[in-house]
Amino acid sequence: MTDTPAGAPDIVQRGLWFEEFAVGARYRHRPGRTVTQADNVLFSGLTMNAQALHVDEAYAATQPFGRPLINSMWTLATMIGSSVAQLTQGTLVAQLGLTDITFPAPLFPGDTLYTDTEITGARSSASRAGQGIVTMRHTGRNQHGEVVATATRTALIWSRDHEEATT
């Protein structure tokens, strides 16, 4: 951290404290992320997913979509990852779960993934002082606005009280 001139703010990027989450609020995470076939092959290799629909263009050409499909786990990870800076950077205690994951339409190399998040629930933790449980509904769309993925995520988030007690 560097010193700032007198009177200048010293701002640290962070996500939201538990108290800042409002049920019904919607966040649009931008910019989007354009995926390449290289991303698809690398991610599939790193995760040991040798599905030919992702990594073999000749094979994929013979299948119903006629071209490679982006690995759905890349879509899920990128959709959630795009929300981190705005929502949970430095304020996340733990991710508690993912449910209701769907992939209603394919994502292809060259498509751009845009993610929105709606806050669907927030409550103080009954067992962990200074923390709250937030439920988020992530929706990923391609550049045409077509929904390509959805997921509900539950996370344990630090309360502002915790930050004030530790500084």
Instruction: Compute the distance between CA of residue 101 and CA of residue 89 in angstroms, rounded to an integer.
Output: 23
Structural domain boundaries in the chain:
18-36+70-166
pLDDT above 90 coverage of the chain, percent: 87
Q: Do 115 and 138 touch, CB atoms closer than 8 A?
A: yes
User: What would the two tokens of residue 127 be?
Assistant: 């067992």
Mean pLDDT in residue range 132-150: 98
Collapsed DSSP state (helix, strand, coil) of residue 162 = helix
Position 39, amino acid: D
pTM of model > 0.75: yes
pLDDT of residue 3: 67
Domain 18-36+70-166: which CATH number of 1.20.1440.230, 3.30.470.10, 3.10.129.10, 3.20.20.70? 3.10.129.10
Please write the tens of the pLDDT for every residue from 19-46.
Answer: 999 999 999 999 999 999 999 999 999 9
Nearest CA to 1 out of 12, 14, 9, 17 is that of 12
Mean pLDDT of 97-109: 98
pLDDT tier for residue 139 given thresholds of 50, 70 and 90? very high
